[in-house]
Amino acid sequence: MKIVMCASEIVPFAKTGGLADVAGALPLALEKAGHEVIVVMPGYKTVHAKTALSIKNVRPGLSIAEIGKAIKVYLIDHDFYFNRDALYGDKTGDYIDNIDRFSYFCRRTLDLLKEINFKADIVHCHDWQSAMVAVYLNSTAYSTDQFYKSMRTVFTIHNIGYQGLFSKDEFPKLGLAWNFFGVDSLEYYAQINFLKGGIVFSDVINTVSDTYSKEICTKEFGFGMEGILDKRKDALFGIINGLDYSIWDPAVDNLIASKFSAKNISGKSECKEDLQKICKFPLKPNIPLIGVVSRLAQQKGFDIVAAGIDKMCRMDLQMVILGTGDEKYHAIMESMVKKYPKVISLHLKFDDTLAHKIYAGSDIFLMPSKYEPCGLGQMISMKYATLPLVYKTGGLADTVDASNGFVFDKYSADDLLKTVKKSLTAYHAVDKWKKLVDKAMKCDFSWFESAKKYVQLYENARKRS
């Protein structure tokens, strides 16, 4: 099959979250399976700043790089839209012209396919930023063009909480007929909703775990999309994300203090000591170290973490938190560092190297997300012999159980604290702990299986007219 992967962030070019991991790894798995894949994303300033990626400018507005064996990555350049410090916004919030930036990206993607004569079978779009590809394909500009006739669209929802909502007043900018602004189209309570456009106009839709694909059809998790999803339930699927083990494997990881594997785990203690040094913690080998790599957001469970953190800091443990997010949680965690400097270490930034060191050096990985479409942290941590502690939701429910981690099923600070205590007790029961770690390390979340499911999904899309 000829496949276009279209996303707003893709590893190794740009990343703010799990979407980038997926959009970077899936093309590689598809190429290995014999498909012809190209990738399209915006050419952000931060991408061009990465000299190691050998990006070539082809002409104004277009650059090219390569991943895998021969996957071309097309970077849509636009000095005004993408030559900025961040991907989506700054301290004051989202960039106010995101509607222009990402509708432009989607139109350019489609035009590019014709320019390079890539007659795709499947255009695979991710999240609201590339959702408009499916909408435009259905608009007269493209639907009447023979070149696009047989292209089918797959839309993956990585997080339904982010929808790309804009004022109705901006609708004329999209260059679409007004019949695209209706309840069965882009309109959502008198606003423009890009994600909804993706749901309505794509041939098939999926989310990144089976449980989340069911959860988003409910009022509790649907963020208002449950009604429209119900109309498309015959086209809605769940496929768990895979992990790229060429990046996330302690046996080959050059960013950690000492490599290790399930066969020989001895290097892990060196990683723990390295992490304790970074955190300026006492260098004790036998104190449980809890790691967090996350956005500091309510979605990630920070409301209950914030409510329980003081009590947690009085337990016999060490805790390191890496991430940025809501100022409110920054402030709470900073106050804890002042109060318990030997117990908690805070790193308010995005730092890939430190993330690797935390996965490798911790004993327990805390990820009590309130909702979690898939979640990568829990899968990564398992590979690094770090047991996940999660709330039973979405992809966390599909990947963690009592045999490879710790799960609680009532979303409250009390239940979180109880489960933390349980994990600390387990840590000191050495033989039992070893068994859990062994089981966790042997879990296989590689892309192989998930990529096969995506190919089936593409085949399903091709059958639709």
Q: Inter-axis angle of helices 127-137 and 98-115, to 10 degrees?
A: 50
Which CB sits closer to ligand ADP, 163 or 294? Answer: 294
Token pair belonging to 16: 């703010």
Minimum Å distance from CB 159 to ligand ADP?
A: 6
From CA 24, how far away is CA 9, in angstroms rounded?
8
Q: Are strands 289-293 and 318-322 parallel, antiparallel or unpaired?
A: parallel
CA atoms within 13 A on the CB side of 247: 20
From CA 41, how far away is CA 186, in angstroms rounded?
23
Contact (CB, 8 A) for 324 and 300: no
Residues 6+ apart with CB under 8 A from 225: 160, 163, 195, 196, 199, 216
Minimum Å distance from CB 222 to ligand ADP?
A: 17
Minimum Å distance from CB 401 to ligand ADP?
A: 18
Minimum Å distance from CB 329 to ligand ADP?
A: 13
For 464, other C-beta atoms within 10 Å of its C-beta total 12
Which spans of this chain sit near ligand ADP (rule: CB under 6 A)?
Answer: 17-19, 21, 159, 293-295, 322-323, 350-352, 355, 374-377
Which CB sits closer to ligand ADP, 122 or 367? Answer: 367
Minimum Å distance from CB 322 to ligand ADP?
A: 5
Which CB sits closer to ligand ADP, 12 or 17? Answer: 17
DSSP designation for 174: G
From CA 73, how far away is CA 53, in angstroms rounded?
11
From CA 135, how far away is CA 195, in angstroms rounded?
10
Residue facing ligand ADP at closest CB distance:
18
Minimum Å distance from CB 383 to ligand ADP?
A: 12
From CA 427, how far away is CA 287, in angstroms rounded?
9
Which CB sits closer to ligand ADP, 155 or 248? Answer: 248
Contact (CB, 8 A) for 123 and 112: no
Minimum Å distance from CB 7 to ligand ADP?
A: 12
Which CB sits closer to ligand ADP, 61 or 222? Answer: 222
Q: Where are the alpha helices (DSSP H) in 279-384?
A: 302-313, 327-339, 352-361, 377-383
Q: Inter-axis angle of helices 302-313 and 413-428, to 10 degrees?
A: 50
Helix (H) / strand (E) containing 226 = helix 226-231
Minimum Å distance from CB 421 to ligand ADP?
A: 25
Minimum Å distance from CB 282 to ligand ADP?
A: 25
Which CB sits closer to ligand ADP, 326 or 351? Answer: 351
Which CB sits closer to ligand ADP, 87 or 176? Answer: 87
From CA 125, how far away is CA 205, in angstroms rounded?
10
Which CB sits closer to ligand ADP, 320 or 455? Answer: 320
Amino acid at 389: L
Which CB sits closer to ligand ADP, 111 or 352? Answer: 352
